[in-house]
C-alpha cells in the first residue's frame, strides 16, 4: 500500500493516561461499594466513558437511572481531569516525539482517532495542541470503537481514503474498528499480538521502517 496518512489512537499510543483512568474509576467504584480492580480496568481500554461505566455497574447490586449514570460519569470525569492536570510535555516519551517529528518531516498527513472526549485537553497538556492535521474524538462521533466511525471521520478530515492510511492502536476494540473501516492497522501495547493487525510494534518508532523504508 502507499501510505499517505497515519491515524493515531491517543491513550496508549501517543500518551498513557491509563493509570489516571484507573484511579478515577477506582475512587468511584470504592465510593459505591462496587468491586473493581486493574484486571477489570483493562476491559475499559479504548471503550467510551458511558460504556466503561456500564461495565463497572455490571457488578453493582442495584439498578441506576439514566440521570444517575450521567452524574456518576461526570463525577469520574471531574476526578480524571484533575489528574490530567498533572501532565506536562515531559509526559510525551522521546520515542513518540522523535517518531512524530520524522513522520512530519516526511510529509505524511497525521491525525488522531480517539474515543476520548478529553482529547483536546490531553493534547494541550502534552504540548501537541495544533500539531495534528486532523483530530477526531469522542465528541464528534455517535458510535464508539469497535465501530469504525472515529477513524473514518479522521480520514475524512485528512482528505484521504481509508486504504491510504494506517491506524495505530493499543486496544483490541480499536484494532477491530480499524479493520472494519478498511484501514491497515499497526498494533502495540495491550493489542500488540492481535492477529487482525498487519504489523505488531514494540514501540511507536517501529512505524518508521514500515512507512519510510529508506529510514
Ligand atoms: P473519556 P483512546 C479512550 O481513549 C480510553 O482508552 C478509554 O479508556 C476511555 O474510556 C475513552 O477514551 C473515553 O475517554 O472519558 O476521556 O471520554 O484509547 O480511544 O484514545
Ligand atoms: Mg487507546
**What does the pLDDT look like over 43-91, one tens digit per residue?**
898 889 999 999 999 999 999 999 999 999 999 999 999 999 999 999 9
9 in ligand 1 pocket by Cβ < 6 Å?
Answer: yes
For 125-145, the DSSP string reads: HTT-TTTSSEEE-GGG-SS-T
Q: Are residues 108 and 145 in the same domain?
A: yes
**Among candidate residues 61, 84, 107, the one where a domain is terminated:** 84
Q: Are residues 62 and 95 in the same domain?
A: no
pLDDT 10s digits, 140-195: 999 989 999 999 999 999 999 999 999 999 999 999 999 999 999 999 999 999 99
Q: Are residues 66 and 100 in the same domain?
A: no
Annotation marks residue 190 as catalytic: no
97 in ligand 1 pocket by Cβ < 6 Å?
Answer: no
Nearest ligand 1 atom to alpha carbon 10 = 20
Tell me how far CA of residue 91 lies from CA of 99, 172, 173, in angstroms: 15, 24, 25
Q: Give the predicted TM-score (pTM) of the model.
A: 0.93
Under DSSP, the state recorded for 171 is: S
Q: Are residues 74 and 97 in the same domain?
A: no
β-strands 199-200, 165-169 pairing: unpaired
Q: Are residues 136 and 46 in the same domain?
A: no
- Give the total number of structural domains in the chain: 2
144 in ligand 1 pocket by Cβ < 6 Å?
Answer: no
Pair 175, 195: CB distance under 8 Å: no
When pLDDT is cut at 50, 70 and 90, the band that residue 215 belongs to is low
Q: Are residues 101 and 137 in the same domain?
A: yes
Q: Which CATH number is 129's domain given?
A: 3.40.50.1000
What gap in Å lies between CA 186 and CA 109, rounded to an integer? 16
Nearest ligand 1 atom to alpha carbon 150 = 19
**Would you say residue 33 has pLDDT above 80?**
yes
What gap in Å lies between CA 101 and CA 108, rounded to an integer? 10
Dist. CA 2 → ligand 1 center (Å): 29
Under DSSP, the state recorded for 110 is: E
In terms of residue numbers, what domain contains 23?
18-84
Sign of CA dihedral 167, 170, 175, 177: negative
Pair 151, 167: CB distance under 8 Å: yes
Q: Are residues 191 and 161 in the same domain?
A: yes
Q: Which CATH number is 24's domain given?
A: 1.10.150.240
Amino acid at each position: 500500500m502507499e501510505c499517505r496518512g497515519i491515524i493515531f489512537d491517543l491513550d496508549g499510543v501517543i500518551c498513557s493516561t491509563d493509570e489516571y483512568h484507573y484511579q478515577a474509576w477506582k475512587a468511584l467504584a470504592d465510593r459505591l461499594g462496587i468491586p473493581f480492580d486493574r484486571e477489570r480496568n483493562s476491559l475499559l481500554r479504548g471503550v467510551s466513558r458511558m460504556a466503561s461505566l456500564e461495565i463497572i455497574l455490571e457488578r453493582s447490586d442495584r439498578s441506576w437511572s439514566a440521570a444517575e449514570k450521567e452524574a456518576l460519569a461526570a463525577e469520574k470525569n471531574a476526578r480524571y481531569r484533575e489528574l490530567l492536570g498533572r501532565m506536562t510535555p515531559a509526559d510525551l516519551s522521546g520515542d513518540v516525539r522523535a517518531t512524530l517529528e520524522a513522520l512530519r518531516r516526511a510529509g505524511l498527513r497525521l491525525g488522531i482517532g480517539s474515543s476520548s472526549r478529553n482529547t483536546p485537553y490531553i493534547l494541550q497538556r502534552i504540548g501537541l495542541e495544533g500539531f495534528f492535521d486532523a483530530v477526531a474524538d469522542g465528541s464528534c462521533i455517535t458510535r464508539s470503537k469497535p465501530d469504525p466511525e472515529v477513524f473514518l471521520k479522521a480520514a475524512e478530515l485528512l482528505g484521504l481514503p481509508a486504504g491510504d492510511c494506517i491506524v495505530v492502536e493499543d486496544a483490541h476494540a480499536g484494532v477491530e474498528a480499524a479493520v472494519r473501516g478498511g484501514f491497515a492497522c499497526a498494533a502495540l501495547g495491550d493489542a500488540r499480538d492481535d492477529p487482525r493487525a498487519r504489523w505488531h510494534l514494540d514501540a511507536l518508532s517501529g512505524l518508521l521502517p514500515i512507512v519510510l523504508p529508506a529510514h
